[in-house]
Amino acid sequence: MKEGINFVKKMETIELIQTLSTANGVSGFEEEVVKIYKETCQEIGEMSTDGMKNLYIQRKENQGNRRIVQLDAHSDEVGLIVQAILPNGMLRFLTVGGWVANNLSAQKVRVRNRQKKYITGVVTSIPPHFLSESERKKPLSVQDLLIDVGAKSKKEVEEIYGIAIGSPIVPDVECKFDEKRGLFLGKAFDCRIGCACMADVLDELKGEELPFDVVATLSSQEEVGLRGATVAANKVKSDLAIVFEGCPADDLSKESFMIQSAMGKGPMLRHFDVSMITSPEFQEYALEVAKKLNIPVQVSVRSGGGTNGAAIQKATGSPTIVIAIPVRYAHTHHGMVEYQDYLYAKELALGILRKLSNEEITTLIQPV
């Protein structure tokens, strides 16, 4: 019987990850993701939203007069936005979030029109037949690229396709799961894999009494400056925070001794990045939980990057950790995630939440 329940749960989890990955939700236009999340978490407790499209979830078991542990994941994905429509019907665009131009050329995209319908397009590329040797070697820039939706004029784009300046654009990719290898292939795993993990954790905790309140935030606009999380953190005013993320895997791009977020080796907990210094005490607490539960984890010190953890820390001073699931080829059309890494991240978050006591929270927020 238990095996049957576990199988159903696994199928539900896989479907949720695929649905969230495939959903359209470039920064500022996250409503589709929020809608999916509301449906997924409707039994968790009371939900509310704000003008930033942040979603707040209060567990039914919360009492309202206790310490608060905030869980957070960001709903937005990197994408593009229409900047101008050329006379010949081509679309000039700007990037929303971090992109490399070479990862955009010749890729399919979806452009949302004024009726909120998505139109398929292709990021332009020049066939090799028409390139000189010097042109082939020239570095590609976003300014060199346009989007072709098949229109022949600006009038057609505006009146027939309904596309306008400011229309959001996302990669046109449907998430797939390879059961044999336990791999997901899809877009937006930064941070939809974290979104799914947070929802899964909330679901596992249904009906459990904890000595503190848990407030989950599905926050917007992380990819353009942690904007939603800044608003959410000021509203929640947490005592501790756990941020769920999809972090770039580095196992194919670093020397072996520098690999700190390999796919297939468990979640990554960062000590440091350019946006925040993780609470050393909370980090050590999480690593001890992982050790006791035999959960493989990786740790990192990053020269770049940044997460909502920084916004929460700055707003509240809350000790914060980031549980990140490695994603190969993050910020491209086609990311790759190992299902087992997701499960380890979920197990670690549950282990921390189930072990935490009020006394331990007090120690963490008053380390000196």
pLDDT at 135: 77
Chunk the chain into consecutive blocks of 10 residues (it has 368) and report each block's average pLDDT, rounded to whole numbers: 75 98 99 98 98 99 97 99 98 97 96 98 86 82 96 98 99 98 99 99 98 99 98 98 98 91 98 96 99 99 95 97 99 98 99 98 95
Residues in the chain: 368
pLDDT at 139: 84
Q: Which of 167, 161, 156 is nearest to 94 (CA)?
A: 167
Q: Which of 68, 48, 42 is nearest to 312 (CA)?
A: 68
* Contacts (Cβ under 8 Å, ≥6 apart) of 18: 174, 175, 176, 177, 184, 186
Residue with tokens 């963490």: 364
Is the bond preceding residue 41 a cis peptide, omega within 30 degrees?
no
Q: What beta strand segments (E) does the chain contain?
A: 45-49, 55-59, 68-74, 79-85, 91-96, 108-112, 118-123, 147-148, 168-171, 176-178, 183-186, 213-219, 240-248, 268-272, 298-301, 320-327, 335-338
pLDDT at 93: 98
Quick one: angle between helices 280-292 and 358-365, nearest 10? 140
Annotated binding site for Zn(2+): 74, 190, 223, 245, 331
* Sign of the alpha-carbon dihedral angle for 228, 232, 235, 239: negative
Q: How far is CA 84 from CA 62, 170, 172, 244, 280, in A?
A: 48, 17, 21, 35, 47
Query: pLDDT tens digit string along 21-50?
Result: 999 999 999 999 999 999 999 999 999 999
Residue with tokens 């407030």: 215
pLDDT at 5: 66
Q: Left (φ > 0), alpha (ψ -120 to 50) or beta: where does 28 sit?
A: left
Q: Which of 222, 255, 338, 360 is catalytic?
A: 222
Q: Which of 165, 196, 275 is nearest to 229 (CA)?
A: 275
Q: Which of 236, 249, 220, 237 is nearest to 308 (CA)?
A: 220
Q: Which of 368, 367, 357, 299 is nearest to 69 (CA)?
A: 357
pLDDT at 3: 64
Q: Which domains, and CATH codes, for the chain? A: 2-77+187-365 (3.40.630.10), 79-171 (2.40.30.40)
**Which pair of structure tokens corresponds to residue 258?**
């520098």
Q: What is the DSSP string of 217-268?
A: EEE--GGGTSHHHHHHHHHH--SEEEEEEEEEP-TTTS-GGG--S-TTS--E
CA angle 26, 28, 29 (to 5 degrees): 60
What does the DSSP 8-state code read for residue 144? Answer: G
pLDDT at 138: 82
Give yes or no: 222 in active site.
yes
What does the DSSP 8-state code read for residue 207? Answer: T
pLDDT at 133: 82
Q: Which of 156, 55, 169, 71 is nearest to 119 (CA)?
A: 169
pTM value is: 0.96
Query: pLDDT tens digit string along 48-103?
Result: 999 999 999 999 999 999 999 999 999 999 999 999 999 999 999 999 999 999 99
Query: pLDDT tens digit string along 265-275?
Result: 999 999 999 99
Phi, psi of 313, rounded to the nearest 5 degrees: -60, -45
Q: Is 200 exposed, middle or buried (0-12, 13-18, 19+ CB in 10 A)?
A: buried
Give CA 218 to chain center in angstroms: 10
Summary mean pLDDT of the chain: 96
pLDDT at 310: 98
Residue with tokens 């925040």: 276
